[in-house]
Structure formats: structure tokens, C-alpha cells
Amino acid sequence: MDIKLSQDFFLSDAHAFCLFKLNNQAMADIHGHEFDELVIVCGGCGFHVVNDQVELIHQGDFFYVSANDVHYYNQTSQLSLINILIHKQRTFYFIYHIDDLLASVKKYTSPSTHYYPSLDENELNQVIADAAAVSERRDDCYDRAYFAHTESRLLSIFTTLYQSVEHAAHRTTHGGNGVLYLLNYIRQNYSQSINWQNLCEIAGLSPRTMYRAFNDLTGSTPQKFQQIYRLLKAQEKLRTTDLPVKTIAAHCGFSHAPHLTEMYKKQFSRTPTQERQLSRSVSVL
């Protein structure tokens, strides 16, 4: 497994953080790193898998990856990310008590929660502007003025994310408009049978418009996208639980175990039983 090293990303030993943007993030092999990572999704969508737990991610989402986590991206489409790397063994020049902010972001964006905090358009644009201001700084030396500027922008980003998770913790519904509404609905109801006609009406889209917009964003039809999510969730449960295959099939929306096995082998070129055996053999190493 690839381990990302601090020396390959941080501008100097005096930097407690590093920020950069990735456009069209491709599917990435599983990897870890020496530092923590805060990721904001600027556009597109895909699946983020951390410690074998999978989450659908799309524009406005953000999440925290700790140094001891392993993760990768799967089935990405036009995925654009802002990556903020944080070196916990280094101190910021001006910012204090930042761990409290980051702890809240981490708490509410871990795969075990169901708050799904997401930035609205104005919040995301503010984060993108702050990130650009940091990236555009090209000083020859890293003095107090440099760190005052970059850390103030970074604190602005953290504050925006913190306010978003605080609001998400008290929301009872998670909407969005148009295709984002459909993605959020699939995220929360992937195992259920979905009436796409009714969902289009709720989202305010005609079926034709919905299918075209959904394909433009994901490269897939809604039905196929839901099927992929079900299979990835089944993969998660095979790797992280001892549930029988038939139980996993039921939990993930498959009519019976043979149906899951057929679809699973078609997608991953191995059966659910082989997946579990492979996962256990890797964990022993």
C-alpha cells in the first residue's frame, strides 16, 4: 500500500498545512499518509471508501481523513476536490485551538454518522475563493505576513465547515435541488425500490431532463448508479462484518443471495464469498 509522505507535499518544515486543488480526480488505489486530510468536493461525484466503509460524495460534501486511515476513490465522474493536508506534529503560526474545530468536522463527517453535512452554493463559493487565495500566494520566503494571510484564509474555511456541521446536526431532512436531490435520496435510500417518476416530480424535473442531467454528472443512469452503490455497500459489509451473504443481500436491496452473487461477480470479477476470503487474508498480513 502506498503511504503519502509529508516531504512530498508540504512547502517547508514550518508549514503545518498544505492546500491544493485536484480536478477530475480519477479512481485512486488504496493509500494512507503521514498527515491528516480534509477534503471538500467542489464538483462532480463518486464514491469515497475509507477503512472499507463507502460513502457517496458530490458537490458541497466534505470529510476528514486521519493519518491512521486508509482510503481511495471509486467510480468517480468529473470529481473536483480541494485537499487540505494537516501536519498534527507541527504548530500553526497564528491559529490556536484548531483541534476543537477539526474534531467537530471529523465527528460529523465520519461514515458511521448520517448527518451528511453539505455546503450550499454560497458557502462552497466562499471556500473555493479562500482556497484560491492560499494557492495563489507565491512568496519567496515564508514570513509573518505570509502566514498571517494564508492562515487567516484557512481559518475562514474551517469556520465555514464548522458552521455547516453544526447546522447539519440539527436538520431532519437533507435535500438539495435537481440532480443533487436525487443523489441525496439515493444515498439515504439505496437499498429501497425507488419510484423515479415520483422522485422527478419532487425534484422538479421531467424524467427526460433528469436522466440527461444525471448522466452528465455521473456518467450513468440512476438505476445503474443505485446498483453500483448497492454493490459497494455489499462489499463494505463483506469486509467489515460477519453477516451471512443472504443477510447482506437483503440489507443492500437484492432480492436473494444468488442475485447478489451474480451482480457482484459481474462488477468485481469475484464472488461475495471470495471477497470475504480475500479481505480476511489481507487483514492477517
Q: Which of 72, 82, 61 is nearest to 18 (CA)?
A: 82
Sort residue 46 into left (φ over 0), alpha (ψ -120 to 50) or beta. Answer: left
Q: Which of 91, 67, 72, 44 is nearest to 219 (CA)?
A: 44
Question: 143 near 165, Cβ under 8 Å?
Answer: no
Q: What is the pLDDT of residue 170?
A: 58
**Which residues lie below 8 Å from residue 255, measured CB to CB, with a gap of 6+?**
249
Distance CA 144, CA 176 (A): 41
Q: What is the number of other CB atoms lying within 10 angstroms of the CB of residue 27?
A: 12
Indicate the length of the chain as a whole number: 285
Question: 229 near 56, Cβ under 8 Å?
Answer: yes
pLDDT digits (tens, 9 = 90+) for 9-59: 999 999 999 999 998 777 678 899 999 999 999 999 999 999 999 999 999
Report residue 31: phi and psi, to 5°. Answer: -155, 165
Does the pLDDT of residue 285 top 70, yes or no? no
Q: What is the pLDDT of residue 59?
A: 94
Helix (H) or strand (E) holding 81: strand 71-86
Helix, strand, coil shares of the chain, percent, nearest 5, are 50, 20, 35
Ordered by where they begin, the domains of the chain are 2-168 (2.60.120.10), 179-284 (1.10.10.60)
pLDDT digits (tens, 9 = 90+) for 188-228: 999 999 999 998 888 888 999 999 999 999 999 999 999 99
pLDDT digits (tens, 9 = 90+) for 137-185: 988 899 999 999 999 999 999 999 988 888 765 554 555 678 888 999 9
Label residue 280 by pLDDT band (50, 70, 90): confident
The two beta strands, 2-4 and 31-33, are parallel
